[in-house]
Chain A
């Protein structure tokens, strides 16, 4: 710019110097002057244009820096009434309060069979998480979630379920990284395992009151890991996610063990995408390897005497899951259809101890069992949804060393007699808003080897506090 200015200056000087000598004709001089004047003004205007351009770029960069910081309030473009609430400027100790939400759930249950005798026939029962719960009115869990970014590097979340029986379960309490790049996220603490589809979803977001049978039997409802998880999201337009988990194995099908080793390993892969603007889908495959020591369960022996048995060994589970959602133009306000299914295949190998408190016999044990469910939920008018679910389990006959050796008859393990439990469930729910839902569910439950259980469940779910964001 300085250079251009001096060139312009030199031209002016030259024009003045040229105008001085008196030998040139007056006419010629005037013409020359006019010409130089034109040249000068041309350069001046070019210099001005360049200056303006530079200023503009400078101010663009300055605004860019401003915009990166929190934006200053912009005055309204039109007359406005006085603002109703002036933003507080004084220091405020509560400004960093985390997002807090509380879910209230409860139900009324009418069951044709005694829930105390509930057992999915053919399978070693989990310590909890099986069956429809108690009869009559029940307070389900009240779920308190506190979540917040911790700093630029971590996000924290605690979900505590205050149970109807006045106990408190820490469902999840984890940190999650925010500052790893390249699609990596690490989670640590206690968290619902990302194996399967439904396992990570909290109960207030389930489409039915209870979990599918396969979740109840193979994972004790939901598998929570005390451990760490790493996920990697591929840099592709399709959703491709790979992950691994390592945990202590304290939750079923594992047990708390007196060992420094990791007892619960999981691998999972998810693939997802859209079909047109109305349909989206996700497929997943997961593998779980969990070790347990003295995982006890209650049974009766061949003469009907109560016994406590225990499994020690390895439980390996394959899970395949698929979810498809459809809504007109992808807008679920008025109609949405959701189809979801999962298949699990579990192999358990180890030792089975019989009647720990009395005869205390032990022998080899191996089983190969599977189960699946398929469910569809349709929002048929705004706020009303109907759903249908079918559950099926195949227990097969386990290999029991004590029986093969002739020490005990198979009838000493009545819980493990081959069975194919199934259940059919229908559901209608009504959501008055995003934050309240009332549900009626009826199930024909053939989980028991003997009698069918007809279950009517009426449920309420209310969400208070922070507006949660939900996974697919």
Chain B
């Protein structure tokens, strides 16, 4: 046997054996965002092996169906996605090329978070002239802790369904998370009370749930239409408009381009508040609790 054939065979054997999943192996989870990765880790602990497809510095809507992601989809037991078309540019490729029936839509291994909660900004009519709008509603659902609680409940149930051998473990962890989350939510809501009615400017429509939850008033959006970067003319108009009703702060996510927000900040003499938006967006937002702690701390700091 030629040497290279032998080494190819050896490689094939190694890759096959390396890929064979022992019965007690951790459940492989592919989470589309760091938030879902953090949530599923809270709920599944060390029973899970979680891979995050994106980071807090990526716009989840504009991700490539990278080879590495297709490879992760191939072996995943569970995909945790936002849904509502947020991942529409890449998730279909991953699902189709994965050769993995466990994670096809409709299977227990495919979990979408957004359909579980009440979506804001569901358009009555859609047309691309309105920018990159989502026909099913605003998919950026994470920044309302009530949504997280609802999604966590369904995700616990899904873990129980997929890995019923560890049902009691997931049930106990789920219960514990709900308890801690509810306590934390009460704390955040009390702490954030001064933010109610405060006028803010956002960049994209991805702070809608945060504003809705805390009662922040969205006075304007730096993107004239979703996904459409502002023109100089539009920004000038915005300055005039905001002179009449000055905002208290301009919200910017970790992944946003800072330039437009900073330009506006100088013109309307309003601070830009950098928010983590996702777990990992700031050093403090290490997990979901940190994400909300830090978001509220930063908003309150800007209010002073």
**Which chain B residues lie closer than 8 Å to A152 at the CB level?**
104, 106
9 tightest Cβ-Cβ pairs between the two chains A and B: A272-B67, A235-B19, A239-B67, A77-B146, A329-B57, A64-B161, A76-B118, A63-B157, A183-B99
Q: 27 interchain pairs (CB within 8 A)?
A: A60-B174, A63-B156, A64-B160, A67-B161, A71-B115, A77-B118, A77-B144, A84-B124, A85-B124, A152-B106, A183-B98, A185-B96, A234-B71, A235-B16, A235-B20, A235-B21, A239-B67, A274-B66, A280-B66, A325-B64, A328-B57, A333-B59, A467-B85, A469-B90, A469-B93, A470-B93, A472-B67
Are A233 and B70 within 8 A (Cβ)? yes
Are A77 and B19 within 8 A (Cβ)? no
The chain A residue sitting closest to B98, CB to CB, is A233
Q: Is A31 an interface residue (CB 8 A)?
A: no
Q: Of B71, B85, B91, B101, which contacts A181 at CB under 8 A?
A: B101
Are A467 and B89 within 8 A (Cβ)? yes
Q: Is B188 an interface residue (CB 8 A)?
A: no
- Mark interface residues in A271-302 (1 if CB within 8 Å of B CB, else 0): 11110010011100000000000000000000
**Which chain A residues lie closer than 8 Å to B70 at the CB level?**
233, 239, 241, 272, 472
Are A239 and B122 within 8 A (Cβ)? no
Q: Is A56 an interface residue (CB 8 A)?
A: yes
- Mark interface residues in A376-403 (1 if CB within 8 Å of B CB, else 0): 0000001100000000000000000000
Known: A74-B117, A469-B65, A469-B92. A240 touches B15 (CB 8 A): yes
Query: Which range holds the interface residue count of chain A?
Result: 35 or more
Are A66 and B157 within 8 A (Cβ)? yes
Which residues of A, 180-231, contact B by the 8 Å Cβ criterion? 180-185, 231
Q: Is A330 an interface residue (CB 8 A)?
A: yes
Which residues of A, 23-76, contact B by the 8 Å Cβ criterion? 56-57, 60-61, 63-68, 70-71, 73-76
Are B122 and A83 within 8 A (Cβ)? yes
Q: Of A182, A237, A329, A464, which contacts B99 at CB under 8 A?
A: A182
Q: Is A176 an interface residue (CB 8 A)?
A: yes
Q: Of A78, A178, A281, A331, which contacts B101 at CB under 8 A?
A: A178
Query: Counting chain A CB atoms within 10 Å of each CB, which of B20, B68, B158 scores highest?
Result: B68
Q: Is B195 an interface residue (CB 8 A)?
A: no
Of B147-155, B239-247, B269-277, B296-304, the segment with at least 4 beta carbons within 8 Å of chain A is B147-155
Are A237 and B150 within 8 A (Cβ)? no
- Mark interface residues in A331-353 (1 if CB within 8 Å of B CB, else 0): 11110000000000000000000
Which residues of A, 74-92, contact B by the 8 Å Cβ criterion? 74-78, 80, 83-85
Task: Knowing that A178-B101, A330-B54, A330-B63 touch, tell me 8 more A-B residue pairs with CB under 8 angstroms.
Answer: A64-B158, A70-B115, A77-B118, A152-B106, A233-B70, A272-B66, A464-B128, A470-B90
Q: Is A303 an interface residue (CB 8 A)?
A: no
Q: How far is the CB of B207 from chain A (nearest CB, A)?
A: 16
Q: Is B228 an interface residue (CB 8 A)?
A: yes
Q: How far is the CA of A182 from the CA of B102 in the complex (A)?
A: 10
Q: Is A167 an interface residue (CB 8 A)?
A: no
The chain B residue sitting closest to A184, CB to CB, is B99
Known: A57-B171, A183-B98. A236 touches B71 (CB 8 A): yes
Known: A469-B89, A470-B89. A332 touches B257 (CB 8 A): no
**Which chain A residues lie closer than 8 Å to B229 at the CB level?**
382-383
Q: How far is the CB of B20 from chain A (nearest CB, A)?
A: 8
Q: How far is the CA of A185 from the CA of B104 in the complex (A)?
A: 13
Are A332 and B75 within 8 A (Cβ)? no
Q: How far is the CA of A57 from the CA of B100 in the complex (A)?
A: 30
Q: Is A270 an interface residue (CB 8 A)?
A: yes
Q: How far is the CB of A154 from chain B (nearest CB, A)?
A: 11
Are B57 and A331 within 8 A (Cβ)? yes
Are A68 and B71 within 8 A (Cβ)? no
Q: Is B227 an interface residue (CB 8 A)?
A: yes
**Which chain B residues lie closer than 8 Å to A118 at the CB level?**
none
**Which chain B residues lie closer than 8 Å to A282 at the CB level?**
67
The chain B residue sitting closest to A238, CB to CB, is B71
Q: How far is the CB of B34 from chain A (nearest CB, A)?
A: 12
Q: How far is the CA of A155 from the CA of B104 in the complex (A)?
A: 12
Q: Is A434 an interface residue (CB 8 A)?
A: yes
The chain B residue sitting closest to A242, CB to CB, is B12
Query: Counting chain A CB atoms within 10 Å of each CB, which of B100, B108, B132 scores highest?
Result: B100
- Mark interface residues in B119-149 (1 if CB within 8 Å of A CB, else 0): 0001110001001100000000000101100
Q: How far is the CA of A11 from the CA of B69 in the complex (A)?
A: 62
Which residues of A, 417-468, contact B by the 8 Å Cβ criterion? 433-435, 464, 467-468
**Which chain B residues lie closer than 8 Å to A434 at the CB level?**
89, 132, 227
Q: How far is the CB of A131 from chain B (nearest CB, A)?
A: 31
Q: How far is the CA of A97 from the CA of B19 in the complex (A)?
A: 38
Q: Of A75, A183, A469, which contacts B100 at CB under 8 A?
A: A183
- Mark interface residues in B196-236 (1 if CB within 8 Å of A CB, else 0): 00000000000000001100000000000001110000000
Q: Is A16 an interface residue (CB 8 A)?
A: no
**Which chain A residues lie closer than 8 Å to B85 at the CB level?**
467
Q: How far is the CA of A74 from the CA of B117 in the complex (A)?
A: 6
Are A232 and B99 within 8 A (Cβ)? yes
Q: Is A179 an interface residue (CB 8 A)?
A: yes
Q: How far is the CA of A280 from the CA of B63 in the complex (A)?
A: 12
Q: Is A3 an interface residue (CB 8 A)?
A: no
Q: Of B89, B123, B168, B213, which contacts A84 at CB under 8 A?
A: B123
**Which chain A residues lie closer than 8 Å to B65 at the CB level?**
469-472
**Which chain A residues lie closer than 8 Å to B255 at the CB level?**
329, 331, 333
The chain B residue sitting closest to A331, CB to CB, is B58
**Which chain B residues lie closer than 8 Å to A57 at the CB level?**
167-168, 171
Are A234 and B19 within 8 A (Cβ)? yes
Which residues of B, 35-89, contact A by the 8 Å Cβ criterion? 54-55, 57-59, 62-68, 70-72, 74-75, 85, 88-89
Q: How far is the CA of A363 from the CA of B274 in the complex (A)?
A: 75
Query: Counting chain B CB atoms within 10 Å of each CB, which of A67, A325, A470 scores highest?
Result: A67
Q: Is B176 an interface residue (CB 8 A)?
A: no
Are A74 and B116 within 8 A (Cβ)? yes
Query: Counting chain A CB atoms within 10 Å of each CB, which of B19, B21, B67, B96 scores highest?
Result: B67
**Which chain A residues lie closer than 8 Å to B59 at the CB level?**
331, 333
Q: Of B15, B55, B160, which contacts A236 at CB under 8 A?
A: B15
**Which chain A residues lie closer than 8 Å to B57 at the CB level?**
277, 328-331
Q: Of B71, B117, B161, which contacts A240 at CB under 8 A?
A: B71
**Which chain A residues lie closer than 8 Å to B91 at the CB level?**
469
Q: How far is the CA of A464 from the CA of B128 in the complex (A)?
A: 9
Q: How far is the CB of B136 from chain A (nearest CB, A)?
A: 10
Q: How far is the CA of A75 from the CA of B149 in the complex (A)?
A: 13
**Which chain A residues lie closer than 8 Å to B160 at the CB level?**
60-61, 64
Query: Counting chain B CB atoms within 10 Å of each CB, which of A83, A152, A467 scores highest?
Result: A467
Q: How far is the CB of A85 from chain B (nearest CB, A)?
A: 5
Q: How far is the CA of A241 from the CA of B99 in the complex (A)?
A: 11
Q: Of B66, B117, B150, B157, which contacts A472 at CB under 8 A?
A: B66
